Amino acid sequence: MRVVVIGATGHIGTYLVPRLLKLGHEVVAVSRGNREPYQGFEQWKGVELLHLDRVAEEKKGAFGKAIAALEPEAVIDLLLFHPSSLPQILDSLSGRIKHYLYCGTMWIYGPTEKAPTTEEEPRRAEDDYGQEKAEIEARLLEEARRGKFPATALHPGHIVGPGWPPIVPAGNLNLEIFEKLGRGEEVCLPDHGLATLHHVHADDVAQAFGLALEKPAAAIGENFNVVSPQALTLRGFCREVAAWFGAEASLSYLDWNQWKETVSEYEAEVTWEHIRNCPCGSIEKARRLLGYNPRYSSLEAVHESLDWLIRQGKVRLPSLTRV
Ligand SMILES: NC(=O)c1ccc[n+]([C@@H]2O[C@H](COP(=O)([O-])OP(=O)(O)OC[C@H]3O[C@@H](n4cnc5c(N)ncnc54)[C@H](OP(=O)(O)O)[C@@H]3O)[C@@H](O)[C@H]2O)c1
């Protein structure tokens, strides 16, 4: 199939494009051309690269037409954040493509009410990002169920891989916590460290997109959580990371209002984003309908990412890979 991937050179695209090629698809990779994939760009032989800026093209009303002009049979849209972007997609691609796969997020659910969260749960996001992503999902699936547009929605958790920092055990992006854990130094967590994080390796997200593309009858009109098999609590995450370095986690706890004063405003903001949602997703539907079978647990995904950070000198700890 001729597949256009919008936003093809980032976390997901790095793994998705090679998977699509392996499945025998013809791939057109759309991005602004500001960056290369995190790895393996040399394997992108035969991939058609189209450099355009979605935001600028949308403003001109030209984005949907530019994608349609590529004559795709399927479109994987990794870059759809605003419901206002939908009309150009629907107007230009309706009746012209076999499958449209939208990248959503676990943030659509808002704070977890039932764990693990299934796709049936209400969308109660409290932030613009989650609300807009939920609105896009609802509109696409409604079109699909009315037989008007062949859409599927996939909802990844925190995407992890070698090449960028993962969400750390304090729920933010400050890598220092890894060093403290690895050296057995005390780490303070908000509340009782019982908030959950739900990571997923970027290659498993790519796997899910590949499977959905291969199984349109099961996927069209449907939505799927795409996370690792099990979420982690902050405290469980800390204990495992410390153990990787032969240390024992020394954990203390403060209630949120006290804890947030111990970190920068930015770190507190990112942690809050994560711990107020406490994502914990079910992948039973993706397993059942698509055969989704993640290669990585949350810890395995972070292990790979952390080893990369250590080898890059971004985290000062001994390498996790015994070569
Ligand atoms: N990151 C997470 O943890 C996470 C979690 C859940 C869901 N998601 C969802 O995942 C999707 C993002 O995928 P990702 O994490 O693989 O993205 P990413 O790593 O941020 O990569 C973004 C890609 O889009 C391109 N791009 C950015 N702005 C563009 C523009 N204006 N016009 C054309 N291309 C543009 C980038 O290349 P250039 O810079 O060269 O243009 C790159 O190829 C989003 O839908 C997001 O909601 C992410």
Each residue's pLDDT tens digit in the chain (323 positions)?
A: 999 999 999 999 999 999 999 999 999 999 999 999 999 999 999 999 999 999 999 999 999 999 999 999 999 999 999 999 999 999 999 999 999 999 999 999 999 999 999 999 999 999 999 999 999 999 999 999 999 999 999 999 999 999 999 999 999 999 999 999 999 999 999 999 999 999 999 999 999 999 999 999 999 999 999 999 999 999 999 999 999 999 999 999 999 999 999 999 999 999 999 999 999 999 999 999 999 999 999 999 999 999 999 999 999 999 998 64
Q: Which ligand 1 atom sits nearest the alpha carbon of residue 103?
A: 45
Provide φ and ψ at 151, rounded to 5°.
Answer: -100, 150
Report the distance separating Cα 253 and Cα 268, nearest Å. Answer: 15
Q: Whose CA is nearest to atom 17 of ligand 1?
A: 10
Q: Which ligand 1 atom sits nearest the alpha carbon of residue 7?
A: 24
Residues touching ligand 1 (Cβ under 6 Å) are 7-13, 31-35, 53-55, 78-79, 103, 105, 156, 158-159
2-159+199-226 has CATH 3.40.50.720 classification:
yes
* DSSP state, residue 47: P
Q: What spacing in Å lies between the alpha carbon of 95 and ligand 1's midpoint?
A: 26
Q: What spacing in Å lies between the alpha carbon of 106 and ligand 1's midpoint?
A: 15
Helix, strand, coil tally for the chain in percent (to 5): 40, 15, 40
| Ligand 1 mutation target, pool 80, 159, 207, most atoms within 8 A of CB | 159
Strand partners, 251: 187
* DSSP state, residue 123: -
The separation between CA 299 and the C-alpha centre of its own chain, rounded to angstroms, equals 16
Q: What spacing in Å lies between the alpha carbon of 11 and ligand 1's midpoint?
A: 7
Q: What spacing in Å lies between the alpha carbon of 134 and ligand 1's midpoint?
A: 17
- CATH no. of 162-197+230-279+298-311: 3.90.25
The residues of the chain that CATH labels 3.40.50.720 are: 2-159+199-226
Q: Which ligand 1 atom sits nearest the alpha carbon of residue 156?
A: 6
Q: What spacing in Å lies between the alpha carbon of 242 and ligand 1's midpoint?
A: 31
Q: What spacing in Å lies between the alpha carbon of 163 and ligand 1's midpoint?
A: 14
Q: Whose CA is nearest to atom 15 of ligand 1?
A: 11
Q: Whose CA is nearest to atom 43 of ligand 1?
A: 9
Which amino acid is residue 90, in one-letter code? L
Q: What spacing in Å lies between the alpha carbon of 12 and ligand 1's midpoint?
A: 8
Q: Which ligand 1 atom sits nearest the alpha carbon of residue 29?
A: 43
CB 197 within 8 A of CB 298: yes
The residues of the chain that CATH labels 3.90.25 are: 162-197+230-279+298-311
CB 304 within 8 A of CB 161: yes
Q: Tokens for 199, please give them.
A: 């990571």
Q: What spacing in Å lies between the alpha carbon of 80 and ligand 1's midpoint?
A: 9
User: Pairing state of beta strands 196-197 and 232-233?
Assistant: antiparallel
Q: Whose CA is nearest to atom 20 of ligand 1?
A: 10
pTM over 0.95: yes
Q: Which ligand 1 atom sits nearest the alpha carbon of residue 35?
A: 40
Q: Whose CA is nearest to atom 19 of ligand 1?
A: 10
Identify the pLDDT of residue 321.
83
Q: What spacing in Å lies between the alpha carbon of 233 and ligand 1's midpoint?
A: 27
